[in-house]
């Protein structure tokens, strides 16, 4: 044991930690998707190949060997949605998020949360998609093109029952609403309960294919949900939606810094001595 520890270099420990982190991240990306069942199927095929060689089953061994000869191409085709999500996660980072403007994102979060609160109170169904690192232009092109600043009034009006665009999704890129009435891919996850409607399935679909955040307002119950990384998260109210969006979009730190700055400014102002009426200034004598 002592010999093993003495022969271990810090680079070996770093190598193990990096590989373990990558494996863990891949497993979290694949969790709840078709990739889990496909991986199990590939494991069964690998076990069958080993067993066929051990039992000297010539025909079966030949078929399985031909399969493994093009397994790289097959994996790319089969795992295409998961690989796209993984590459999008690699390109996404806190540094990139900070460069896009925390103030603009904070304004978008506030307006989206206000709209969600208004829509949920009236039980008006809605689906709002917020872009992150992965581009959503291909989905925006399927809807009606818009170019307007994000506001709660605009988002609410788009989903009113008499609006011709209320059935589709609204896509937000940066600080602007770029499209409404968009059609999104439905989730392929077979583990989704039947209680979820088309809006929730569309929200999960876009969250599975991209790193976007999809906000859903249930038409039946007024319940608020967020679809992130292929999973549905239930939000208790609009404030919970705001807090979660702050975390996902990197706005929470910006709000904390801004609040701290305002607090320091107020404390500094409160320490300023008051100026007497008609005085020359702080501590000055009155004119007479």
Is residue 34 assigned to a domain? yes
**Pick the residue with more confidence: 257 or 58?**
58
Domain ends where: 78, 104, 120?
A: 78
Note whether 13 and 148 are same-domain residues: no
Q: Is residue 227 part of a domain?
A: yes
Distance CA(149)–CA(154), nearest Å, equals 9
Look at residue 237 and tell me if it is in a domain. yes
What is the pLDDT averaged over residues 225-237?
89
Q: Are residues 124 and 242 in the same domain?
A: yes
Tokens at 214, concatenated: 């999809």
**pLDDT of residue 285 exceeding 50:** no
Q: Are 69 and 135 members of one domain? A: no
For residue 42, name the pLDDT band (cuts at 50, 70, 90). confident
Q: What would the mean pLDDT of 149-155 be, rounded to a whole number?
A: 93
Same domain, 227 and 104: yes
Q: What does the alpha-carbon distance between residue 259 and residue 270 come to, in Å, rounded to a whole number?
A: 16
The answer, yes or no, to whether residue 164 has pLDDT greater than 90, is no
Is the pLDDT confidence value at 225 over 70? yes
- Burial of 47 from C-beta contacts in 10 A (0-12 / 13-18 / 19+): exposed
* 246 and 149 share one domain: yes
pLDDT at residue 282 tops 50: no
- φ/ψ of residue 174, rounded to 5: 65, -125
Could you tell me if 99 and 240 lie in one domain? yes
Q: How much is the pLDDT for 90?
A: 58
Give the number of domains in the chain.
2
Check whether residue 236 and residue 125 sit in a common domain.
yes
Tell me, yes or no, whether 45 lies in a domain: yes
Q: Do both 71 and 118 map to the same domain?
A: no
3-class DSSP assignment, residue 279: strand
Q: Same domain, yes or no, for 68 and 122?
A: no
Write out pLDDT tens, residues 94-132: 444 444 466 778 889 999 999 999 999 999 999 999 988
Q: Over the stretch 244-254, which tens digit does the pLDDT of each residue have?
A: 998 888 876 65
The predicted structure's pLDDT at residue 214: 94
Encoding tokens for residue 69? 């000869």
**Residue 59's pLDDT band (cuts 50, 70, 90):** confident
pLDDT at residue number 54: 85
Residues 137 and 223 in one domain: yes
Q: What is the mean pLDDT of the chain?
A: 77
Find the CATH number of the domain harbouring 137: 3.40.1700.10
C-alpha span between 124 and 159 (Å, rounded): 7
Together in a domain, 210 and 240: yes
Instruction: Tell me how far apart the alpha carbons of residues 114 and 150 are, in angstroms, rounded to a whole number.
Output: 11
88 domain residue, yes or no: no
Burial 225-254 (b: 16+ CB within 10 A, else e): bbbbbbebeebeebebbbbbbbebbbbbeb
Task: Confirm whether 288 is domain-assigned.
Answer: no
Give the structural domain span for 153: 95-252
Is 47 part of any domain?
yes
Same domain, 218 and 110: yes
Q: Which pLDDT tens digit goes with each residue over 170-207?
A: 999 888 899 999 999 888 776 676 667 888 999 999 99
Ramachandran quadrant class, 275 (left: phi over 0; alpha: psi -120 to 50; beta: rest)? beta
* Those residues with Cβ within 8 angstroms of residue 147's Cβ, 6 or more apart along the chain or in another chain: 176, 177, 178
pLDDT band at 279 (very low <50, low <70, confident <90, very high): very low
**Better pLDDT: 253 or 157:** 157
Tell me if 207 is assigned to some domain: yes
């Amino acid at each position: 044991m002592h010999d093993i520890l003495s022969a271990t270099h810090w680079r070996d420990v770093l190598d193990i930690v990096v590989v373990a982190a990558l494996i863990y991240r891949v497993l979290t990306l694949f969790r709840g998707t078709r990739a889990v069942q496909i991986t199990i199927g590939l494991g069964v095929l690998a076990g069958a190949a080993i067993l066929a060689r051990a039992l000297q089953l010539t025909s079966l061994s030949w078929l399985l060997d031909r399969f493994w000869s093009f397994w790289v191409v097959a994996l790319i085709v089969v795992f295409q949605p998961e690989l796209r999500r993984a590459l999008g996660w690699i390109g996404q980072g806190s540094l990139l998020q900070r460069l896009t403007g925390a103030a603009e994102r904070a304004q978008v979060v506030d307006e989206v949360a206000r709209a969600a609160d208004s829509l949920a109170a009236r039980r008006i169904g809605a689906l709002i998609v917020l872009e992150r690192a992965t581009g959503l232009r291909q989905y925006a092109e399927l809807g009606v093109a818009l170019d307007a600043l994000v506001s709660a009034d605009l988002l609410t009006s788009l989903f009113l029952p008499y609006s011709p665009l209320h059935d589709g999704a609204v896509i937000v890129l940066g600080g602007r609403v770029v499209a409404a009435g968009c059609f999104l891919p439905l989730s392929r996850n077979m583990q989704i309960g039947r209680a979820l409607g088309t809006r929730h399935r569309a929200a999960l679909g876009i969250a599975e294919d991209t790193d976007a955040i999809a906000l859903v307002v249930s038409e039946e119950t007024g319940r608020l949900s967020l679809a992130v990384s292929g999973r549905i998260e239930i939000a208790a109210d609009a404030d919970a939606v705001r807090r979660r969006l702050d975390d996902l979009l990197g706005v929470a730190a910006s709000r904390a810094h801004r609040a701290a700055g305002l607090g320091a400014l107020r404390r500094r102002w409160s320490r300023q001595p008051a100026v007497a009426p008609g005085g020359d200034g702080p501590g000055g004598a009155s004119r007479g």
